[in-house]
């Protein structure tokens, strides 16, 4: 049976923990709002980019000289996995769900005789992937969202990817990140970046898409547009990830705060019982002592 003092110490330390977790929750809530706003602000650009790209892709469909970023290299031997996680922990299953998916993909690819390369974005991606795929990790990029996530930092990553692609270091590039659905649910999403796959959500719109004049020609525009689109896709994934991270942390810290509360209650009951038992014991000792006299 723990002494009164032990219990008091435990209660106090749990209270301190609770203070920290609830503060972290509050901070995440504020950051989540900002991240969501940023993701919201990026939407118009992404939507228009996709629209233009779609109409271009349609008019390029019949031709066989499409740029490699759109058509691919014609092989799928070497795969590049861009694993996006956060730099910090304490955000529930956020990081481990991404790396679990990435590990599974890497294993499947290897089982099919493909070569896998991994670009880790975020410290946690490297830490959790290196146990199994140490030799596949070609680089780690850290502190992307510091002090603020900007388009430039996304563009830098995209540039790196496209340089590697031009150098023929891989054939297919897939990014793994968490898509933000709500503060409680995030969906692990693998998305293929190269060759660029247009989502087929509103394919019907293609049929009545307006016919455009192109200046210069389609190919030149496409060649200009695809690298931009790559940056945009990376930026978008980073934004979604940032929002998801904060959401996951908020939920995790909310749970932790509640758990700490429960624990404090239990410990307090225990403490009070022990104190009462001590008092009763002392009284019995005094009374029996008095009776003996």
Partner 1 sequence: MADQVHFELVSPERLLFSANVAEIVIPGVEGDFAVLAGHSNLISTLRPGVIHILETGAQVTDRIFVEGGFAEVNAEGCTVLAERAARVADIDRNKAEQALADAREDLQDAKSEIDRAAAAQLVEIAEARIAALGTSTY
**Under the rule (CB under 8 A), what is the footprint of partner 1?**
38, 41-42, 44-46, 48-49, 51-52, 55-56, 150-151, 154-155, 163, 166, 210-216, 220-221, 224-225, 228, 231-232, 235
Smaller CB separation from partner 1, 54 or 114: 54
3-class SS of residue 198: coil
Residue 187 Cα distances to 62, 84, 140, 183, 283, angstroms = 35, 13, 23, 11, 61
The CB-of-224 to partner 1 minimum distance in angstroms stands at: 5
- Which of 255, 240, 262 lies closest to 93, judged by CA? 255
The CB-of-113 to partner 1 minimum distance in angstroms stands at: 32
Smaller CB separation from partner 1, 50 or 136: 50
Asked whether 84 and 179 are in contact (CB, 8 A), the reply is no
Catalytic residues: 91
Asked whether 198 and 54 are in contact (CB, 8 A), the reply is yes
Q: Which tokens belong to 19?
A: 């203070």
CA distance 125 to 153: 18
The CB-of-239 to partner 1 minimum distance in angstroms stands at: 9
Asked whether 131 and 93 are in contact (CB, 8 A), the reply is no
């Amino acid at each position: 049976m723990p002494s009164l003092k032990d219990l008091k110490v435990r209660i106090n330390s749990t209270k301190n923990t609770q203070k920290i977790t609830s503060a972290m929750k509050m901070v995440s809530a504020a950051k989540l709002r900002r991240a969501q706003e940023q993701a919201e602000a990026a939407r118009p650009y992404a939507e228009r980019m996709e629209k233009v790209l779609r109409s271009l892709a349609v008019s390029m469909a019949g031709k066989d000289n499409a740029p490699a970023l759109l058509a691919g290299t014609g092989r799928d031997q070497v795969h590049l996995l861009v694993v996006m996680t956060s730099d910090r922990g304490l955000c529930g299953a956020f990081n481990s769900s991404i790396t679990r998916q990435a590990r599974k993909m890497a294993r499947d690819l290897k089982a099919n005789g493909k070569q896998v390369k991994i670009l880790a974005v975020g410290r946690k991606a490297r830490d959790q992937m290196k146990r199994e795929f140490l030799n596949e990790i070609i680089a780690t990029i850290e502190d992307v969202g510091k002090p603020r996530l900007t388009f430039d930092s996304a563009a830098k990553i995209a540039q790196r990817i496209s340089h590697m692609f031009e150098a023929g270091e891989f054939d297919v590039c897939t990014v793994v990140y968490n898509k933000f659905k709500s503060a409680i649910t995030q969906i692990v999403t693998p998305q293929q970046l190269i060759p660029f796959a247009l989502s087929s959500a509103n394919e019907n719109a293609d049929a009545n898409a307006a016919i455009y004049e192109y200046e210069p020609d389609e190919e030149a525009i496409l060649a200009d547009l695809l690298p931009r689109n790559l940056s945009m896709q990376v930026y978008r994934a980073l934004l979604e990830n940032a929002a998801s991270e904060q959401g996951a942390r908020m939920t995790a810290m909310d749970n932790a705060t509640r758990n700490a509360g429960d624990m404090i209650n239990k410990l307090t009951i225990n403490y009070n019982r022990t104190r009462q038992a001590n008092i009763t014991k002392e009284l019995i000792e005094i009374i029996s002592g008095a009776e003996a006299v």
